[in-house]
Amino acid sequence: MERMERYQPGQALGPLVKPPVTKTQLVMYSGASGDFNPIHTVDEFAEQAGLGGVIAHGMLTMAFVGQMLSEIVGVEGDLLTFGIRFTGMVRPGDVVTCEGTVKEVEDVEGRQVVRADVWGMTQKQERVVAGHAEFAVPLG
């Protein structure tokens, strides 16, 4: 993903398209995060909980959006704030696309501070996370 020299209000961010979520990925994320809730790894348990099967960790989906932001900000920039609401469930097989829209831009001390809305949605166009981010990048 190429970073633009200067951001403008209304400009699109992303997309970052993640490959289909796998059950193996969910098991690995459970180990990495310490979240061993069986709704993320055991179909029978998730079905008994009324979820219709295994769902991905919300924080994994947030991490996908975080990856997009990290790629935008790069090594020379700073992610200043990042907040997400969980609005839907991601299941194994879902492809999550992360995007955003620049809302405000301000030049501050040789850097451009960008405020944006960000989200992730499945291949069914269902938003599963939505939130905001603020980042600073050097002025080109």
Residue 5 has a pLDDT of 64
* Residue 91 placed within a domain: yes
Q: Can you give the residue range of the structural domain that contains 75? A: 12-138
* Residue 92 placed within a domain: yes
Provide the domain count of the chain.
Answer: 1
Residue 1 has a pLDDT of 43
* Residue 3 placed within a domain: no
Exposure string (b/e) for 32-64, b if CB count within 10 Å is 16 or more? eeebeeebbbeeeebeeeeeeebbbbbebbbbb
Residue 14 has a pLDDT of 96
Residue 35 is part of a domain; what is its CATH number? Answer: 3.10.129.10
For residue 62, CA distances in Å to 72, 108, 112, 114, 129 come to 16, 28, 24, 19, 7
Residue 2 has a pLDDT of 44
* Residue 1 placed within a domain: no
**Does the model's pTM come out above 0.95?**
no
- Structure confidence by residue, pLDDT tens digits, 35-83: 999 999 999 999 999 999 999 999 999 999 999 999 999 999 999 999 9
Residue 84 in this model has a pLDDT that exceeds 90: yes
Quick one: pLDDT band at residue 139, thresholds 50, 70, 90? confident
